[in-house]
Amino acid sequence: MDKKSKRLLILFGLLVLAVLVIETAAPPPLNWKPSYTSYDKIPFGSYVFYDQLDDLFVNEKVQAIDKDPVQFLKENDSVTNSNYLFINEYLGFDNAEVDDLLEFASRGNKIFISTKSVFGALADTLNIESNETYAYYEEDTVRVRLNNQSFKNRSYIYKKGSSYRYFVSYDTTRTQVLGEVLPFEPIKGYLKKFIENSENESDSTFTKVLEDSKIVSKEREIPQANFIETKVGDGAIYHHLNPIAFTNYYMLQDGKEQYIAEVMSYMNDGPVFFDDYGKAGKRIIESPLRFILSNVHLRWAWYLALGSILLYFLFKSKREQRAVPVVEPLENSTLSFTRTISNMYLEKSDYSSIVSKKIRFFLEHVRSHYYIPTDKLDQQFIKKLSVKTGKSLEETTQFVQFLGYLMNKGVHNKYELKQLNDQIDAFLK
């Protein structure tokens, strides 16, 4: 390779490196996509709401559920006085899910569903309907409030990401209206958008539609139901049409958390199950490469590595004498290796790997110190572990069930890792 080619390659490499540095240093664009997951910290994620559930339901179990509702409800067919929360853009339950949800509610449990509209088998069963299509002005600034006088008629305004959604019909014999919605500017915004979309209409058509729009505009000045309770057996199902209120963007605004606390006050004083299955922003990683490419920093690191390898082969294409390796004496680097691996897991936020390893270490401790086989975490294992450790059978059962829940779950978060660490420390005291 001549000197000119080498200079060009070096110039090209420096140019690529400069682009990579600029792209990596630039702040990522803000993601405004709705997510509603318990672990997303983007504006329209629900990390803050999920984190605050421990304060809203003091001394009660709060758990994110990342499995199909039918499977979860069948595994918990004896649970009572609990709450199952569903928050998403849209939710359409099939007949099998509806049967299990109704049976779950009839035992005294409460189901809370916050979506932009209601449809499907559950809506048909409960005989409720919302304004699914909102003509002329899809996004709207809205004012919401709860009807209970103990809340002092406080109202809350939502703008970005909100829309004017309300119930057009419901079964008045078993349904109670708990909250209402009203456009912040009932006539102004509606008529402005209407006129912009009717400029090309004929005079007669324009006049007729304008008269109709005035009637609808007047209706927009009347508060409409957007939060209802439907009794089912000993429990109830709640439908709410402003899911954007549960996102990080609004939960961090002064006063908005008060509205959420008021809405949640209708729930049971019991365990809380937060649905994380099938969310709009659920993360789906099908391969290691897809995981790398889904993160901007890992993606650019991948490109940089590929470019470096390419440059290496270009510069090393000329034959060279292989260097004689220097044999260094072996050194004990166990501590350094352990520190490096632990830092790597923490920096990657690979909570699932850490959870898996902590459970494996705990089971190894059980085998080596208490001489109890751990291939099956069944009732016999629980009884032996209770006797060996001196813990009560109830405490041991809850602890082993928690381990089983984490072992069967695919993705874990920082809160679950902290729970696991605290419970293992408490159990081994």
Question: What is the reported pLDDT for 316?
Answer: 65
In this structure, are 355 and 270 located in the same domain? no
Residue 296 lies in a domain: no
Instruction: Let me know: does 210 contact 169? Beta carbons within 8 Å.
Output: no
Band (369; pLDDT cuts 50, 70, 90): confident
Instruction: Give the tens place of pLDDT for each residue, 307-338.
Output: 878 777 766 665 555 667 888 777 666 556 66
Task: Check whether 48 has a pLDDT greater than 60.
Answer: yes
Highest mean pLDDT among 9-13, 57-61, 197-201: 57-61
Interacting residues of 163 by C-beta distance below 8 A, sequence separation 6+: 116, 134, 138, 139, 140, 142
Radius of gyration of the chain (CA): 29
Same domain, 238 and 363: no
pTM of the model: 0.59
pLDDT at 122 over 50: yes
**Tokens representing residue 387 in the block:** 């006797």
Which residues sit opposite 177 in a β-bridge?
228
Element (DSSP H or E) covering residue 62: strand 62-65
Considering the domain architecture, whether residues 244 and 349 belong to the same structural domain is answered as: no
Q: What is the pLDDT of residues 128-162, one digit of tens each?
A: 999 865 444 456 788 999 999 899 889 999 999 88
Clarify whether residues 98 and 233 are in a common domain.
yes
pLDDT at 15: 78
Query: Residue 9: how many CA atoms within 13 Å on its side-chain side?
Result: 15
Torsion angle defined by CA atoms of residues 25, 27, 28 and 31, in that order, rounded to the nearest 10 degrees: 170
Q: Quickly state the pLDDT bin for 281 (edges 50, 70, 90).
A: low
Q: Over range 33-40, report the average pLDDT.
A: 91
Query: Is residue 27 in some structural domain?
Result: no
* 163 in Cβ contact with 142 (< 8 Å): yes
- Residue 311 located in a structural domain: no
The answer to whether residue 291 is domain-embedded is no
What's the CA gap between 124 and 93, in Å, rounded?
Answer: 11
Overall average pLDDT of the 263-275 stretch: 96
User: How many CB atoms lie under 10 A from the CB of residue 194?
Assistant: 19
Q: Domain of 96: which CATH number?
A: 3.40.50.880
Task: Give the domain range for residue 395.
Answer: 339-429
Single-letter code of the amino acid located at 390: G
Mean of the per-residue pLDDT values of the chain: 82
Token couple for 302: 């991948």
- Bridging pattern class, strands 235-240 and 110-114: parallel
- HEC per residue, 369-390: HHCCCCCCCCHHHHHHHHHHHC
**212 domain residue, yes or no:** no
Residue type present at position 26? A
What proportion of the chain, given as a percentage, has pLDDT over 90?
37
Last residue of one domain, picked from the residues 275, 300, 318: 275
Q: Are residues 52 and 125 in the same domain?
A: yes
Statement to judge: residues 125 and 241 lie in one domain: yes
Largest interatomic CA distance in the chain: 95
Question: Quick one: average pLDDT of 4-22?
Answer: 72
CA atoms within 13 A on the CB side of 179: 28
DSSP string across 209-222:
HHHHHHHHHHHTTS
Structure tokens at 272: 């809380």
pLDDT of residue 135: 46
Same domain, 244 and 376: no
Whether 34 is in a domain gets the answer no
Question: For the chain, how many structural domains are there in total?
Answer: 2
Identify whether residues 370 and 245 lie together within a single domain. Answer: no
| pLDDT surpasses 60 at 188 | no
**Residue pointed to by tokens 């070096």:** 10
What are the φ/ψ torsions at residue 236 (nearest 5 degrees)? -160, 160
In-domain check, residue 228 = yes
Q: What integer is the mean pLDDT of 32-58?
A: 93
| pLDDT over threshold 50, residue 78 | yes
Q: Amino acid identity of 245? A: A
Domain identity same for 259 and 404: no
Instruction: Report helix angle 414-427 to 393-408, nearest 10.
Output: 150
- pLDDT at position 198 is 52
Torsional class of 279: left (φ above 0), alpha (ψ -120 to 50), beta (otherwise): beta
Same domain, 410 and 261: no
pLDDT of residue 390: 87
Residues 233-254 have a mean pLDDT of 95
Q: Are residues 231 and 355 in the same domain?
A: no
182 and 255 inside one domain: yes
Residue 320 forms part of a structural domain: no
In this prediction, residue 328 carries a pLDDT of 78
Among the residue ranges 24-28, 149-153, 168-172, 232-236, the one predicted with the least confidence is: 24-28
